[in-house]
With several copies, the nearest count.
Chain A
Amino acid sequence: MADFSPTEMMTVAAARVLRNEDVCFVGIGMPSAACNLARLSHAPDITLIYESGTIATKPDVLPLSIGDGELCETALATVSVPEMFRYWLQGGRINRGFLGAAQLDRFANINTTVIGPYGKPKVRLPGSGGAPEIATSCGEIFIVMAQSKRSFVDKLDFVTSLGHGKGGDDRQKQGVTTKGPTLVVTDLCIMQPDPVTKELTVTGLHPGVTPEQVAAATGWALKFAPELTETPPPSDAELAVLRALHQRTNEAHQPKAAE
């Protein structure tokens, strides 16, 4: 077994939850890496959809933006952005959404809008993009993001996208019928919402990670399941595919020699 980084462990663990028959709405960055790793390993026929309108795309390198040419060139079809959000996302045709976040709370609600007050933010983040409706329209949501006290917070500065709201059946009370976040994969562990309270609970640790480390990287008193699984480390095959993907990607995004 090769050495691997926490980020590689996170990407591999996230990729593993995807299945060949999934239709998955993919965010840029870590979600995109995980989804394409799944496609290039155990789920070759997975349908990946990017909000730029590209349906069933099979990029050879990871896109830097949500709409790199590679996505369109390798897609089954490319639709307009209004059609993507209306017919495909809101139409209920997509069963998995993969999101990241700047801040996440214990009920997997997401902030990607501001740090500090909305009217006078300390840090103006990019904003919501597709996330608010991805979070409510996809059949279920997987979240993948690096874990730290700054990002796993007790209280969001702004609720950009709904997770489980205030917990329990709050999500249904908001008129939302989809499952919402069923899994959070970080560089340290795996969390799942408690079946009743919907509070995120650590159910698995990545190899070599202790519960104390995870708790120290979380801004609230994090709950742990009585029995914790240990995430199987990345296999040689998984690492080889992921690293080759990143290698191709880095080469593709370098400035051209001619320029």
Chain B
Amino acid sequence: MAVFSSLAEAVAANIRDGDTVAFEGFTHLIPFAAVHETIRQKRRDLHLVRMTPDLIYDQLIGMGCVRKLTFSWGGNPGVGSLHRFRDAVENDWPRPLEVDEHSHAALANAYEAGAAGLPCAILRGYRGTQHGSVNPNIKSVTCPFTGEVLAAVPSIRADCAVIHAQKADRKGNVFLEGIVGVQKEAVLGAKRAIVTVEEVVDDLGDVSPNACILPSWTVSAVVEVPGGAHPSYAHGYYKRDNAYYKAWEDIGREREVFLKWMEEHVMRQGPDAFKRHAMKAA
């Protein structure tokens, strides 16, 4: 049953050094505030999972929180590189980064299989590529009916999943809509889950019977953090801050600039810093 708490409490209670953690959100609803709190709490040796590492993982990697990364596309979308991620892979700075690299299709299936309680996912994937030669987490199974050989990857069952959503009701039932990505799968496949939300409401209101809802008993902690997805966005609330993403190209490129920026914008801030980005569409 979801507990309502502060962001600091939620991170302290649910993310531990060495954990496998999936901060998810496919472009939309990326849990920036929760990531910043994790950095402030100086978690170490994390095994991070995420289809599209995005700026949040650049920040976690650059601040030395990460031991291993499972991912399928590590860039600043539409802008360029994640320079902190590259610096870790290319130069072991600030520490070596172990890489478990997949395709989107494989990771999406791996999340799906995790939610479904399976040990692995099967897909028609990776054919004619080199991925299997560099990643022991890509194997195969043979269909017992047709003989077709399919790719197999381990399912993702994180210690903790962290997502941002539009709203929760006072019982802790969570509602999200728009580009829902792999968030439901990440939460249902994980042992624990933190959900930050734009707002807590009395009632989820007149939503579709088939809306994407995570019942309270699938979530460990719910935290109200208005604007908590900025510079990503929250459908129905505020837009993606594309200018921030473009600016990251220069912030992330040099170690010194990055560290200074993080000190100022993350280490010396709290979740309330996100409030000014919160806005509800009319």
Instruction: Give complex CA distance A133, B75 in Å.
Output: 19
Tell yes or no: A138 within 8 A of B by CB: no
How near does chain B come to A206, taking the closest CB pair, in angstroms?
A: 25
Which of B2-10, B11-19, B159-167, B233-241 contacts the other chain? Answer: B233-241
Tell yes or no: B127 within 8 A of A by CB: yes
Contact B131 A75 (CB under 8 A): no
How near does chain B come to A254, taking the closest CB pair, in angstroms?
A: 6
Residues of A within 8 A of B126 (CB): 132-133
Which of A61-69, A208-216, A235-243 contacts the other chain? Answer: A61-69
Tell yes or no: B36 within 8 A of A by CB: no
CB nearest to B134 among chain A residues? A118
Residues of B within 8 A of A137 (CB): 117, 124
Contact B109 A127 (CB under 8 A): no
Residues of A within 8 A of B233 (CB): 69
Residues of A within 8 A of B130 (CB): 113, 118, 158-160
| Contact code string B63-88 (vs A, CB < 8 Å = 1, else 0) | 00000000111110111011001100
Contact A127 B26 (CB under 8 A): no
Residues of A within 8 A of B117 (CB): 86, 90-92, 137
* A residues 139-179 in Cβ contact with B at 8 Å: 158-162, 165, 170-171, 174-176
How near does chain A come to B176, taking the closest CB pair, in angstroms?
A: 11
Contact A52 B181 (CB under 8 A): yes
Residues of A within 8 A of B82 (CB): 126
How near does chain A come to B70, taking the closest CB pair, in angstroms?
A: 11
Tell yes or no: A207 within 8 A of B by CB: no
How near does chain A come to B92, taking the closest CB pair, in angstroms?
A: 10
Instruction: Give complex CA distance A112, B215 in Å.
Output: 32
Which of A21-29, A185-193, A224-232 contacts the other chain? Answer: A21-29
Contact B178 A128 (CB under 8 A): no
Contact B245 A64 (CB under 8 A): yes
Contact A175 B245 (CB under 8 A): no
Tell yes or no: B182 within 8 A of A by CB: yes
* A residues 101-117 in Cβ contact with B at 8 Å: 109, 113
* B residues 128-185 in Cβ contact with A at 8 Å: 128-131, 134, 148-149, 173, 178-182, 184-185
Contact A87 B127 (CB under 8 A): no
Question: How many chain B residues touch A (Cβ–Cβ < 8 Å)?
Answer: 72
Most chain B CB neighbours (cut-off 10 Å) among A77, A113, A137: A77
Given contacts A76-B213, A82-B182, A255-B243, contact A67 B129 (CB under 8 A): no
Most chain B CB neighbours (cut-off 10 Å) among A73, A130, A132, A136: A132
Instruction: Give complex CA distance A76, B90 in Å.
Output: 42
What secondary structure prevails in chain A residues at the interface with B?
loop
Tell yes or no: A51 within 8 A of B by CB: yes
Residues of A within 8 A of B134 (CB): 118-119
Tell yes or no: A184 within 8 A of B by CB: no
| Contact code string A43-70 (vs B, CB < 8 Å = 1, else 0) | 0000100011111100000011111110
Contact B242 A127 (CB under 8 A): no
Option from A29, A80, A123, A126 in Cβ contact (under 8 Å) with B184: A80
CB nearest to A120 among chain B residues? B90
Tell yes or no: B259 within 8 A of A by CB: no
Tell yes or no: B218 within 8 A of A by CB: yes
Residues of B within 8 A of A162 (CB): 127-129
Residues of B within 8 A of A92 (CB): 117
CB nearest to B148 among chain A residues? A175
Instruction: Give complex CA distance A174, B245 in Å.
Output: 39
Residues of B within 8 A of A63 (CB): 78
Tell yes or no: B94 within 8 A of A by CB: no
CB nearest to A114 among chain B residues? B89
Tell yes or no: B251 within 8 A of A by CB: no
Tell yes or no: B192 within 8 A of A by CB: no
Contact B129 A84 (CB under 8 A): no
Tell yes or no: B101 within 8 A of A by CB: yes
Tell yes or no: A10 within 8 A of B by CB: no
The 29 sampled A-B contact pairs (Cβ below 8 Å) are A21-B1, A21-B217, A47-B215, A64-B78, A65-B242, A67-B26, A67-B181, A72-B178, A72-B179, A78-B209, A78-B210, A80-B210, A82-B112, A86-B117, A90-B125, A91-B116, A113-B130, A124-B85, A127-B72, A127-B75, A131-B103, A133-B103, A136-B124, A136-B127, A136-B128, A158-B130, A162-B128, A162-B129, A175-B148
The 8 closest A-B pairs by CB, nearest first: A67-B27, A162-B128, A126-B75, A65-B77, A129-B73, A255-B243, A64-B78, A86-B116
Given A128-B103, A254-B243, 18 extra CB contacts under 8 A: A64-B246, A69-B28, A76-B215, A77-B211, A80-B182, A80-B185, A85-B104, A86-B112, A89-B105, A90-B116, A126-B82, A132-B129, A133-B103, A133-B104, A136-B124, A136-B128, A162-B127, A255-B243
